[in-house]
Amino acid sequence: MTVLTQKVMAHLQAIYHEGQTEQQIDQLTATLIETMRITEFAADVVPYQNHWSQQDVIMITYGDSIVCDDERPLVTLSKFIDSYFAGINGVHILPFFPYSSDDGFAVIDYSSVNEALGNWSDISSIASKRRLMSDLVINHCSSRSLWFQNFIEGKGVGHDYFYTAELDDDISKVVRPRTSPLLRETPTANGIKQVWCTFSHDQVDFDFNNPQVLIEFVKIIRHYLDVGVNIFRLDAVAFLWKKLASPSINLPQTHEVVRLLRTLIEHAQHDAMLITETNIPNSQNLTYFGNANEAHCIYNFSLPPLLINTLITGSCLYLKRWLMSMPPARDGTTYFNFIASHDGVGLRPAEGLLEQDELATLISTMEQFGGQISCRTTDDGQQKPYEMNIALFDALQGTTAGKDELGLQRFICAHAIMLGLEGIPGIYIHSLLGTRNDYLKLANTSHNRAINRHRWDYNQLVEQLAHPESLHHIVLKKMTELINIRTAQKAFHPNATQFTLHLGLKLFGFWRQSRDRNQSIFCISNISNQVQLFNVNELNLITDQTWFDLLSPLKIEDVNQEITLEPYQTVWITNHE
């Protein structure tokens, strides 16, 4: 028995310790290894390897965020990336499969590319030039899928893939991010069934108690590896395993499934990665690192609300407190940092980190800046704000006192902070382009998240980017400069040392040191709308080295000198280019 076989078998025994015989576990182990095409001679995975560096930056986009007449959107996207985002070496294309709702997250067919976007050749072409992240929508699929139609008919592939409950079952403790009823009444050939729907009644949840569902997803993973996918984003994975009379979130079997998938993926392609999308309180989110044997990366979901709060209040109290509490990621794992995405700014990850009055002020300020607030239903039936839906540029157009003229500076400051932090940065395409709230799309769809899902016409966008005075030109130029500087610094390796600096509440700072200890960078941002003076002696710089700012012509001539930081200015003071 190989080491891999022993590992997979141990995972499966932990997942299916009830309901599966030893012989069934043996057969399932063999099936999964064969499905992933891992030979018995495959070398064992070297643990705690980092398959990333400071050069990794991932752009997040829909396949049709930019469209051009008479051209497949994936071809347009690839052309645009090559022309304007050359310094970005990774791209996360949000679900590019046939779907029925939720802008792609209700997948009809996992084996096909949405014809409205392109084909598998287009996907492979993008993957040949950059690391490609793809969603693995593993918790649920579309109610219009063939699998669910077979469930309704009671025969064929998928007829036993979905989780059901009874109306009198105890589901009172179930944690959900939506307000719709959990159970969907569905007439089937076998009578009325109550189908579990964590998100919407068009998104029907899988039943991983059935090992055949696991086999199906391993087949999907193998297919995606074959077409060039290198990073797998496990969408909504926290809800994967269900159990009555429980919260049905973050259950032990869910963590074990993640561990199993990591084992299989690493042995099939050693540098492939798993990233867990778990929009939950920070302490729960961190558990998806496991012991460096679950997710390679976890989304740093607490960063967006805390950073926005910092910049609109002019106080880094909560952001600094959070950063000091974050454990350094072990080798083989790292954080995925982002401050904007296709979804809204989640508020659950701020639970326990921001005071209630601070949250209330944050929410009301975003509403003043044109944002929408989405709610979820709590255990006691109350409606509670779940996320803020707003374009990041608009979210940073002012402070709690109202809008001002420093929005661009505030926006760039947010990204300078994010790009310096421990972890891999992910940047939403609309942040790179300075896209504003899309009120027309919001009105046409009545979906709050549509406000931050603008679709650009290629020619109009290119025209905007050609004008030096255009906001979109200015934002892309400044963002490109930041990214190019960041990717050249060894101290910004995702696993380089990080310590929080204590510089008061108006200056947010942290220190990064390269893994070879040759480079230090002190990242200091004025997060207020007033000029701040800062004495360099607070950094205890080594006096026999030359120190300078990577973002400006500033040189440190005297380790006791005082420097002036303009509102929302960031300096990256280093001793080594």
Element (H, E) at 185: strand 183-188
423 three-class SS: coil
Q: How far apart are CA 416 and CA 479, in angstroms?
A: 9
Q: How many residues does the chain have?
A: 577
Q: How far apart are CA 301 and CA 280, in angstroms?
A: 8
178 known ligand binder: no
Place of tokens 């967006």: 304
Specify the amino acid at residue 231.
I
Specify the amino acid at residue 324.
M
- 131, 171 in Cβ contact below 8 A? no
Q: How far apart are CA 240 and CA 255, in angstroms?
A: 9
- Tokens matching residue 300: 């740093």
- 347, 376 in Cβ contact below 8 A? no
Please list the alpha-helical segments (H only) found in 173-326: 211-226, 252-268, 282-286, 303-313, 317-325
Farthest CA pair distance, the chain:
81
- β-sheet bridge partners, residue 203: 142, 200
Nearest to 63 by CA among 55, 51, 72: 72
Cα dist from 12 to 27, 74, 203, 402, whole Å: 11, 38, 26, 55
In 75-170, at which residue ranges do the beta strands (DSSP E only) sit?
90-93, 131-137, 140-142, 164-165
342 known ligand binder: yes
- 25, 36 in Cβ contact below 8 A? no
12 known ligand binder: no
432 known ligand binder: no
449 known ligand binder: yes
235 assigned to active site: yes
1 burial (CB, 10 Å; 0-12 / 13-18 / 19+) is: exposed
Q: How far apart are CA 134 and CA 151, in angstroms?
A: 27
- DSSP summary character for residue 199: S
Residues 6 or more apart whose CB falls under 8 angstroms from that of 34 comprise none
135 known ligand binder: no
235 known ligand binder: yes
Nearest to 127 by CA among 189, 88, 78, 170: 78
Nearest to 342 by CA among 239, 472, 448, 477: 448
Cα dist from 425 to 141, 258, 487, 507, whole Å: 29, 22, 10, 22
Output phi, psi for 227, to 5 deg.
Answer: -95, 0
The distance of Cα 506 from the centroid of its chain, to the nearest Å, equals: 28
Query: Pick the catalytic residue: 64, 235, 438, 549?
Result: 235
Q: What sign does the dihedral 70-74-75-76 (CA atoms) show? A: positive
Enzyme catalytic residues: 235
Binding site for substrate: residue ranges?
102, 140, 233-235, 342-343, 449
Binding site: residue ranges?
102, 140, 233-235, 342-343, 449
